[in-house]
C-alpha cells in the first residue's frame, strides 16, 4: 500500500529539508557531522542507476524509473529507494504483494516524486501491464520493516484493499503471477505463502508500530487463484494430525467485512468472497473473536486482522472438536489459542505437514521479534560513535522483542530455520558518510516462523526445532 500512507518505509521530511533515517523517529533526529565524508565500503554506483526490464517474455513490461534524487540538493533527503548489490550482498528471499490504493497512473506518478519516500520494484495494472520502477538489486522503501526492504521484492497492484473484489482483475493476477514465477525461479525463492506474502503479513519492528501496520492487499485478494497461477496451489499434505493449512475455498468463503467510513465502492456485508478465517474464543458459532495481546479484540472491520488467518498459512493444531457438519480446529496464533470451523463439504483448511518450533524445556515463555538484528559488537566502534549512526544503529542492535511471547508448549511452523541476520546501513544517496551503504552481519541465529497472520522471528537458542 503506497498512496495515502505517511512514509511507511522511507524517511520523514522535516522543515529543515533534511530527513530522519529509515527506521528512526523524528525525536531521534540530530545534527549530523557532514565534515566526515568517506567513500562507502563496497558501495555500488549510486547516482541515477539505469533501470532495465527484468520480466518474463510472457507479460508486457514497461520501464518507468522511480525517482532517485536529492531534494533541494541535500543527499540525506532523497527518494525513493536505496541502491544496493543484491543478491550478492543481501539475499533476496521473499516476494511482497501490495495494493497501491489508487490507479496505476497514481502509483507510477507517486513513485516518480522524490518526496513520496516510497516505491517498489514493480507496479501491476488492471489490464496486466507491468511497470518496473526499481532494479531488483536495489532496496525500494515499501515494507514498513527495513529487514523486509532488504530481503524482498515489492510488487504493487492497482486498486484498493476495500474494493479489491472488483479492482483485482484476472489480467492483473495472471501478469503478476507470471512475474512471480520468473522472480522465484531467478532468485531461488520457495513458492509458498511463507515466502510469497502480503503486506498484511509483514511484522512490525517495534511494539509501538504494530497497530499501524498495513492490511493490504486485504481480505478480497484471491490467494487461491494467485498461488495456482504461480504454480503452487495449496493442496492437502501430511496426515492433518498436527498441522493444517488455511484454505477457504474462493466463492464459498464469505466472511462479514465492515468498511471504513467514506470509502467509495466498499459495501459492509458478507456477499463477497474472502481469503481468511476468523479465530474465536470458543468452538461454536457466534463466539467472540479472540483478543490479540497488542491490538485488542478482532472484529469485522477490514483493517482489523487481530483474529484472522489467511489462505495458505500453515499453523499447528492445539485441539480438535468433531461435529456432524465439520471440524473445529484450535490453533496457536500470536501467543494465544483460537478456534475456526472447517466444514466437510467446503473445507477451510487442509491437512499439512511442517517443521515447527517450541520453547525449550524449562522456559515459561520466549520472546518474538519483528526482525533479526546484529549485535552492537558487529559494528565498528568509530561508526557507533559518529552521527548519524550513533543514534540510529543502537535502536536496531539488538532489536527489542515485540510485546508477544510464545508460552511453553505452544508450536509454530517454520518458514526459514536459518533466517539471515544482517543490517544494511544506508544514510545518504551518494554513500558519503562513514561506512555508508555497508552490510553488517550478526552472529545470533534466528528462525523465521508463521506467527499468527504475520510472520515473526525467534532466537534459535530459545527453541527446540522439530
The predicted pLDDT at position 43 comes to: 37
Cα angle value 436/148/390 (rounded, 5°): 35
Residue 2 lies in a domain: no
Q: What is the mean pLDDT of residues 454-463?
A: 98
CB 115 within 8 A of CB 216: no
Number of structural domains in the chain: 1
The predicted pLDDT at position 47 comes to: 60
Q: Which residue has the higher pLDDT, 360 or 34?
A: 360
Give CA–CA dist 165/143, Å, rounded. Answer: 23
Residue 4 lies in a domain: no
Which residues are CB-contacts of 211 (< 8 A; sequence separation ≥ 6)? 294, 295
Give CA–CA dist 78/17, Å, rounded. Answer: 10
Which residues are CB-contacts of 105 (< 8 A; sequence separation ≥ 6)? none
* Partner residues linked to 465 by β-bridges: 357
The predicted pLDDT at position 262 comes to: 72
The predicted pLDDT at position 110 comes to: 96
Give CA–CA dist 312/190, Å, rounded. Answer: 13
DSSP secondary structure string for all residues of 121-160: SEEE-TTS-EEE-S-TTSEES-SSSHHHHHHEEEEEESB-
- Residue-wise over 169-198: b if at least 16 C-beta within 10 A, else e? beebbbbbbbbbbbbbeebebebbbbbbbb
Residue 249 is classified by DSSP as: P
Q: What is the pLDDT of residues 92-135, one digit of tens each?
A: 999 999 999 889 999 999 999 999 999 999 999 999 999 999 99
Residue 208 lies in a domain: yes
**Coil, strand, or helix at residue 348?**
coil
The predicted pLDDT at position 382 comes to: 92
* Residue numbers of the domain that contains 384: 12-465
Q: Is it the case that residue 12 has pLDDT exceeding 70? A: no
Give CA–CA dist 53/183, Å, rounded. Answer: 12
Q: Which residue has the higher pLDDT, 386 or 230?
A: 230
- pLDDT band, residue 49 (cuts 50/70/90): confident
Give the torsion sign (CA, 294, 297, 303, 308). Answer: positive
Which residues are CB-contacts of 446 (< 8 A; sequence separation ≥ 6)? 369, 372, 419, 421, 457, 458, 459, 460
Q: What is the pLDDT of residues 401-423, one digit of tens each?
A: 999 999 999 999 999 999 999 99
* pLDDT mean across residues, the chain: 88
* Cell output for 105: 497512473
Q: What is the mean pLDDT of residues 62-72?
A: 96
Q: Which residue has the higher pLDDT, 7 or 157?
A: 157
Instruction: Read off the pTM.
Output: 0.90
CATH number of the domain within which 430 lies: 3.40.80.10
Residue 245 lies in a domain: yes
Residue 1 lies in a domain: no
Q: What is the pLDDT of residues 165-214, one digit of tens each?
A: 778 999 999 999 999 999 999 999 999 999 999 999 999 999 999 999 99
Residue 7 lies in a domain: no
Residue 3 lies in a domain: no
Most confident of 36-40, 42-46, 432-436: 432-436
CB 63 within 8 A of CB 132: yes
Q: What is the pLDDT of residues 290-321, one digit of tens each?
A: 999 999 999 999 999 999 999 999 999 999 99
Report the largest interatomic distance among the alpha carbons of the chain, rounded to a whole angstrom.
74
Residue 148 lies in a domain: yes
Amino acid at each position: 500500500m503506497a498512496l495515502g500512507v505517511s512514509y511507511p518505509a522511507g524517511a520523514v521530511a522535516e522543515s529543515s529539508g533534511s530527513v530522519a533515517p529509515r527506521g528512526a523517529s523524528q525525536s531521534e533526529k540530530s545534527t549530523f557531522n557532514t565534515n566526515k565524508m568517506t567513500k562507502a565500503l563496497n558501495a555500488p554506483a549510486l547516482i541515477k542507476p539505469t533501470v532495465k526490464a527484468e520480466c518474463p517474455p510472457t507479460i508486457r513490461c514497461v520501464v518507468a524509473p522511480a525517482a532517485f534524487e536529492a531534494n533541494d540538493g541535500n543527499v540525506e533527503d532523497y527518494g525513493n529507494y536505496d541502491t544496493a548489490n543484491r543478491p550478492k550482498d543481501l539475499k533476496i528471499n521473499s516476494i511482497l504483494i501490495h495494493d497501491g490504493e489508487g490507479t496505476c497512473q497514481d502509483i507510477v506518478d507517486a513513485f516518480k516524486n522524490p518526496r513520496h519516500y516510497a516505491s517498489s520494484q514493480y507496479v501491476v495494472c488492471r489490464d496486466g501491464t507491468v511497470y518496473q520502477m526499481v532494479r531488483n538489486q536495489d532496496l525500494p522503501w515499501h515494507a514498513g520493516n527495513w529487514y523486509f526492504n532488504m530481503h524482498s521484492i515489492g510488487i504493487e497492484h492497482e486498486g484498493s484493499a476495500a474494493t479489491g473484489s472488483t479492482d483485482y482483475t484476472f489480467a492483473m493476477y495472471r501478469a503478476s503471477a507470471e512475474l512471480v514465477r520468473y522472480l522465484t525461479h531467478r532468485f531461488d525463492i520457495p513458492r509458498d505463502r511463507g515466502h510469497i506474502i502480503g503486506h498484511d503479513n509483514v511484522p512490525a519492528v517495534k511494539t509501538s508500530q504494530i497497530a499501524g501496520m498495513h492490511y493490504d492487499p486485504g481480505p478480497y485478494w484471491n490467494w487461491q487463484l494467485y498461488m495456482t497461477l504461480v504454480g503452487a496451489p495449496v493442496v492437502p499434505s501430511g496426515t492433518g494430525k498436527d498441522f493444517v493449512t488455511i484454505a477457504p475455498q474462493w466463492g464459498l468463503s464469505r466472511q462479514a467485512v465492515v468498511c471504513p467510513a467514506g470509502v467509495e465502492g466498499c459495501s459492509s456485508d458478507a456477499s463477497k468472497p474472502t481469503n481468511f478465517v476468523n479465530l474465536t474464543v470458543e468452538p461454536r458459532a457466534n463466539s467472540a473473536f479472540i483478543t490479540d495481546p497488542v491490538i485488542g479484540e478482532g472484529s469485522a472491520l477490514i483493517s482489523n486482522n487481530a483474529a484472522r488467518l489467511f489462505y495458505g498459512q500453515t499453523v499447528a493444531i492445539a485441539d480438535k472438536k468433531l461435529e456432524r457438519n465439520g471440524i473445529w480446529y484450535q490453533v496457536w496464533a500470536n501467543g494465544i489459542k483460537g478456534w475456526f470451523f472447517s466444514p466437510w463439504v467446503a473445507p477451510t483448511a487442509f491437512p499439512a505437514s511442517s517443521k515447527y518450533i517450541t520453547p525449550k524445556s524449562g522456559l515459561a515463555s520466549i520472546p518474538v521479534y519483528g526482525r533479526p538484528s546484529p549485535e552492537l559488537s558487529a559494528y565498528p566502534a568509530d561508526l557507533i560513535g559518529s552521527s548519524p549512526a550513533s543514534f540510529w544503529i543502537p535502536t536496531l542492535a539488538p532489536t527489542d522483542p515485540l510485546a508477544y511471547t510464545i508460552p511453553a508448549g505452544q508450536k509454530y511452523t517454520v518458514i526459514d530455520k536459518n533466517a539471515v541476520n544482517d543490517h544494511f546501513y544506508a544514510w545518504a544517496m551518494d554513500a558519503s558518510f562513514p561506512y555508508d551503504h555497508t552490510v553488517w552481519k550478526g552472529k545470533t541465529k534466528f528462525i523465521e516462523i508463521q506467527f499468527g497472520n504475520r510472520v515473526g522471528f525467534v532466537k534459535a537458542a530459545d527453541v527446540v526445532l522439530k
